A and B are shown apart, each in its own frame.
Chain A
Amino acid sequence: MIVFLIKRLANAAFVMLVVALMAFMIFRFVGDPVQLMVNEQTTQAERDELRERLGLNQSMPMQYLHFVANAVQGDFGISYRNQQEVMSLIAERFPATIELVLMATIISLVLGVPLGVITAIHRGKWYSEGLQFLSIIGVSLPSFVIGIMLILVFSVMFNILPAFGRGDVVNIGWWTTGLLTPSGRAALILPSIALSFYQITLVMRLVRAEMLEVLRSDFIKFARARGVPAWRVHYSHALRNCLMPVVTMTAMNIGSLIAFALITETVFQWPGMGLLFIQAVTFVDIPVMAAYLCIVSFIFVALNTLVDITYALIDPRLRNAKA
């Protein structure tokens, strides 16, 4: 077990090192930081001096080492655009993105699981086929289109929900939350629906597939034969058995939801990490881009590793197969 743990963690660390290398490469390739930081009047000598101070004269491996050493301590330097420490910039935006992603995840589970059960139990009925068809449209609509449509309908036509931003927020330590104010809750609705759309269909399809499989298994047949009521068979026996993969997928997908949130955040001007990243891309604010890449990948890798380790704890057979 310990060997498995170490292997898994080493693997995660290696992946993070490579991600850090990629982030470091952006520094080197997307424009010259010096060029971006000085104004037109700066003389060549001043530019060279700045280059020296930024450590850009060192060899590439040395610069990479420095980058990793600083990144591990949470120091990604200072944003060119906001002139603020990148980590504190990201820490400010972090709660906004996490609230959005968690809300989207909750919506996707609350809607996705029952829909999946219904379409599985009533396979072949017109309404479950209809739901299946709708779910395909759900995965086919790009999230920016969904966002634009929601704004058009709920903000402009009916004027009942805000079109942008996060509303009023309340600080709890360094965390900010919009859940405690009416305007904050209202502002959360449209973006989290837009973000959850894709996820709802994923959950629904997964639950449906798992349910169909479980319903065919012997213990369900046995339960039915024993005369257990249908609803108990479906919701208690069957559903419980297919929740594990749903929970796993949801946990692993939080990472990619954080990344995909950048599109939703752009459409709704939601002040999260994704919007910060997109603004950084257009401003070539490389420290922010690099930090965002590292942090989102870190969350992604951490979740994956955690899920793997949990699985290994539950099911010892996997320890050898995966490592």
Chain B
Amino acid sequence: MTVNLTSPSLFARIRQSDLWYSFTRQRSAVFAAILLAVLIISAFTAPLYAPQNPFDPAQLELWNAEIPPIWLEGGQWPYLLGTDTQGRDILSAILYGSRISILIGIASVVFALLIGIGSGLAAGYYGGFVENALMRVGDILLSIPTILIAILVSAIVRELLPVNLRDVGAAGVLVLAIVLSGWVQYARTVRAQTAVERRKEYVQAAQLLKVPARRIMFSHILPNTLTPILVAATLNFGMAILTEATLSFLGIGMPPSQPSLGTLIRLGNQFLFSGMWWIVLFPVLQLCLLVVSVNLLGDWLRDALNPKLR
């Protein structure tokens, strides 16, 4: 009896499938991928060329406040997109702000994936008590709207942090708040898939051959559950960035000393009618470009990976 214990890896499948073909065919997907790459790279290399470090209070000079973008009258080099009311260079601020938004997005998706996949596999494979306990926790978290979980967690945890850690810990608190409601979706998907795969012959064969449970889970079952997870993770990355922006907009996210895009929009919103439109417009544009490119990619990925829609 021969059992093929190595199911094809995801990347091999991508190359073999018509995913790549579909990718190159879809102009919007190519466009989104390029845009996202540009946004991410520019955000992370910002310290190399940005005119200012907006997180360093010593570099903010009130004299330079409210300079309009360079193509308008009164615009000044090097403030390409103008400055805000603190003398913060808008271009630098949105680059550094995107960096925070992207980092929070990535961190919350990665942690949610780790927790979700781990608990989903365990629940689906072992069943019984483990499954019940994990899924019940998930039920509860899904019974509270995500935005409420995020608001409550960020409000409570912030209070629990010592005073001098609150600024530093703000990003961590946001990640925690987003992860808490995000992991359940992965856990449910993985559990359902695992429960199906577990009954399949190749797994039962592996069990007969005394392959350790961990190995069966990670190298046999997991790859088969990854497709829906990948799609969900991409879309959730966009959602995480939006949730972070929303919390910061409501004033319970990133502090103004380390502004994320949401914080910049909150601060700029006060000047909406004062003629200083650049303070709010550019962060809004940057946020939208970022999330649109992520969602375009996720959308394409979902269609491309869904055999029914081909």
Inter-subunit contact A300/B145 (CB<8 Å): yes
Inter-subunit contact A139/B295 (CB<8 Å): yes
Inter-subunit contact A281/B151 (CB<8 Å): yes
Inter-subunit contact A136/B249 (CB<8 Å): no
Q: How many residues in A have their beta carbons less than 8 Å from beta carbons of B? A: 47
Query: What 0/1 pattern do residues 232 to 257 of B give for CB contact below 8 A with A?
Result: 00000010001001100111100000
Give the docked Cα–Cα distance between A262 and B145 (Å). 12
User: Does chain B have a CB within 8 A of A179?
Assistant: no
Inter-subunit contact B159/A260 (CB<8 Å): no
Give the docked Cα–Cα distance between A41 and B220 (Å). 68
**Can you name the residue of chain B whose Cβ is closest to the Cβ of A22?**
B152
Inter-subunit contact B250/A278 (CB<8 Å): yes
Q: Chain B's nearest CB lies how many Å from the CB of A70?
A: 20
Give the docked Cα–Cα distance between A7 and B299 (Å). 37
User: Does chain A have a CB within 8 A of B139?
Assistant: yes
User: Does chain A have a CB within 8 A of B30?
Assistant: no
Segment 139-174 of B: residues with Cβ below 8 Å from A: 139-140, 143-148, 151-152, 155-156, 159-160
Inter-subunit contact A259/B246 (CB<8 Å): no
User: Does chain B have a CB within 8 A of A309?
Assistant: no
Q: How many residues in B have their beta carbons less than 8 Å from beta carbons of A? A: 41
Inter-subunit contact B156/A25 (CB<8 Å): yes
**Can you name the residue of chain A whose Cβ is closest to the Cβ of B144?**
A297
Chain B interface, >50% SS class: helix
Inter-subunit contact B140/A282 (CB<8 Å): no
Inter-subunit contact A293/B152 (CB<8 Å): yes
Q: Chain B's nearest CB lies how many Å from the CB of A309?
A: 15
Inter-subunit contact B144/A136 (CB<8 Å): no
Inter-subunit contact B139/A145 (CB<8 Å): no
User: Does chain B have a CB within 8 A of A87?
Assistant: no
Given A15-B143, A136-B295, A256-B145, decide whether A144 and B246 contact each other with a Cβ distance below 8 A: yes
Query: What 0/1 pattern do residues 259 to 273 of B give for CB contact below 8 A with A?
Result: 000100100010011
Give the docked Cα–Cα distance between A137 and B299 (Å). 11
Binds B, one of A26-34, A55-63, A182-190: A26-34
Inter-subunit contact B272/A304 (CB<8 Å): no
* Given A136-B292, A259-B146, 10 additional A-B pairs, CB 8 A: A31-B159, A136-B299, A137-B292, A145-B284, A256-B145, A256-B147, A259-B148, A266-B250, A289-B152, A296-B144
Instruction: Point out residues on B near A: beta carbons under 8 Å.
Output: 28, 136, 139-140, 143-148, 151-152, 155-156, 159-160, 238, 242, 245-246, 249-252, 262, 265, 269, 272-273, 280, 284, 287-288, 291-292, 294-296, 299, 308-309
Instruction: Point out residues on A near B: beta carbons under 8 Å.
Output: 11, 14-15, 18-19, 22, 25-26, 29-31, 132-133, 136-137, 139-145, 148, 152, 156, 209, 212-213, 216, 255-256, 258-260, 262-263, 266, 278, 281-282, 289, 293, 296-297, 300-301, 304
6 pairs, A vs B, C-beta closer than 8 Å = A136-B295, A136-B296, A142-B291, A258-B145, A281-B155, A296-B144
